[in-house]
């Protein structure tokens, strides 16, 4: 019972972070701001959701594989975000400053 | 518990539709790339939830792992291509 409540709360917090990342992707004024929101929020949300699923499944080989997916994603997603941001900076995209219009 | 997983999955599908707005109408290629990468992230969790709903976790888990790797490689390849090209 305790483990079930723990896994439900982990998954709800993960869903909350997914929602905030999506709102940031839609509403922020600039490409770099959007990338910042979705890069950090999605990584944390995937980690929390997969930990919740692994707790619900119990300790076995499958839950270890779920944890390994989470660890891989925790390394891979910041790398991909950094690659996109560096490509944008090399392509000459200017960061947004206060007072400019939305792009 | 299946009802809870189903609710979370439906909510994630709604968020995927919201991300698709950025994927379609994003001003440049880079915005579209960020939107599609976010959709791939949500799909990974939806696949695992499908595995829990249908009670076939060991099969859907491998699909989810392959999807994570493909999403990472695809994003990295497009970013590298744009960086080499030098313009958006």
If one counts every other C-beta atom within 10 angstroms of the C-beta of residue A69, the result is: 22
Contacts of A65 in chain B (CB under 8 A): 61, 65
Query: Minimal CA–CA distance to A70: which of A11, A9, A12, A20?
Result: A11
Domain boundaries in chain B? Answer: 2-85
The CA distance from A75 to A21, in Å, is: 18
How large is the C-alpha radius of gyration of chain A?
A: 17
What pLDDT does A12 receive?
Answer: 94
Nearest to A83 among B27, B80, B87 (CB): B80
Chain A partners of B35 at a C-beta cutoff of 8 Å?
A: 25
Q: Decide if A89 touches B, using CB distance below 8 A.
A: no
User: Which one of A22, A34, A57 has the shortest CB-CB distance to B57?
Assistant: A57
Q: What is the pLDDT of residue A100?
A: 81
A50 is written with which tokens? 């997969």
pLDDT along chain B (88 residues), means of 10: 91 93 88 92 93 91 93 93 85
Q: Please tell me the predicted confidence (pLDDT) of residue A72.
A: 93
What are the chain B neighbours of A53 within 8 Å (beta carbons)?
48-49, 52
What are the tens digits of pLDDT across the range A36-86? Answer: 999 999 999 999 999 999 999 988 898 999 999 999 999 999 999 999 999
Task: Indicate if the pLDDT at residue A99 is higher than 90.
Answer: no
Within 8 A by CB and 6+ apart from A11, the residues are A48, A49, A52, A53, B4, B8
Hey, what are A83's tokens?
């690659």
Say what the pLDDT of residue A101 is: 78
Q: Concatenated DSSP letters for B9-62?
A: HHHHHHHHHHHHHHHHH-SSHHHHHHHHHHHHHHHHHHHHHHHHHHT-HHHHHH
The average pLDDT across A82-94 equals: 90
A69 touches chain B (CB under 8 A): yes
pLDDT of A103 over the 80 cut: no
């Amino acid at each position: 019972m305790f483990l079930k409540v723990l896994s439900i709360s982990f998954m709800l917090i993960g869903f909350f972070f997914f929602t905030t990342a999506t709102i940031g992707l839609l509403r922020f004024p600039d490409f770099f701001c959007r990338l910042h929101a979705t890069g950090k929020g999605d990584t944390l949300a995937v980690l929390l959701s997969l930990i919740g699923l692994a707790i619900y499944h119990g300790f076995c080989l499958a839950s270890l594989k779920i944890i390994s997916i989470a660890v891989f994603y925790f390394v891979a997603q910041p790398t991909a975000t950094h690659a996109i941001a560096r490509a944008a900076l090399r392509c000459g995209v200017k960061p947004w400053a206060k007072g400019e219009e939305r792009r | 518990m299946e009802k809870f997983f189903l609710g979370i999955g439906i909510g994630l599908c709604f968020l995927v539709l919201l991300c698709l707005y950025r994927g379609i109408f994003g001003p440049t290629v880079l915005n579209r790339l960020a939107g599609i990468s976010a959709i791939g992230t949500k799909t990974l969790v939806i696949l695992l939830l499908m595995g829990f709903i249908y009670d076939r976790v060991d099969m859907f888990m491998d699909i989810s792992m392959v999807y994570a790797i493909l999403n990472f490689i695809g994003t990295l390849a497009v970013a590298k291509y744009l960086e080499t090209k030098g313009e958006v």
